[in-house]
Amino acid sequence: MSMIKTAGLGLHFLLELGILAALGVWGFRTGQSWPARALLGIGLPLLGAIAWGVFRVPNDPGPAVVAIPGAVRLALELGLFALAGAALASIGRPQLAIALGLLVLVDYLLMYERVIRLLGRN
């Protein structure tokens, strides 16, 4: 495996964790009461992780629980990244939202072969 591909996979994993963290922080800061904050702060990252892990393209890199087309998978990923960026911006962290967006762009540039493969699958 090339160094660039390894870096891309590592960055992709860190960005996945970033999504979960951003959604969790947003949830804990947005809820009006302690139960609402706990529900949002724990529930949103959990839903994001479930969506990320369940809806997959077969063999990308493992088996898919629910197989979806590559373009749909790419849209799901970009949607979760956008949601995380919006969450960061809404809690007063626009610089982090911009940094997240730039890192996502770098990630997809590093993993361009995967993006091409996902867009080529139906």
Q: Model confidence over 59-98: pLDDT tens digits?
A: 777 788 999 999 999 999 999 999 999 999 999 999 999 9
pLDDT band for position 121 (50/70/90)? Answer: low
pLDDT at position 20 is 97
- Residue 45 preceded by cis peptide, ω within 30: no
The pTM of this model reads 0.90
The residue-averaged pLDDT of 15-23 equals 97
Measured CA to CA in angstroms, residue 18 lies from 5, 104, 117, 118 at distances of: 20, 11, 24, 22
Q: What is the pLDDT of residue 1?
A: 67
- Give the C-alpha separation, 15 to 60, whole Å: 17
pLDDT band of 112, cuts 50, 70, 90:
very high
For the record, the structure tokens of 96 come out as 């982090």
State the greatest distance between any 2 C-alpha atoms of the chain, in Å, as a whole number. Answer: 49
Mean of the per-residue pLDDT values of the chain: 93
Average pLDDT for residues 90-111, to the nearest whole number? 96
- pLDDT higher than 80, residue 4: yes
More confident of the two residues 120 and 91:
91
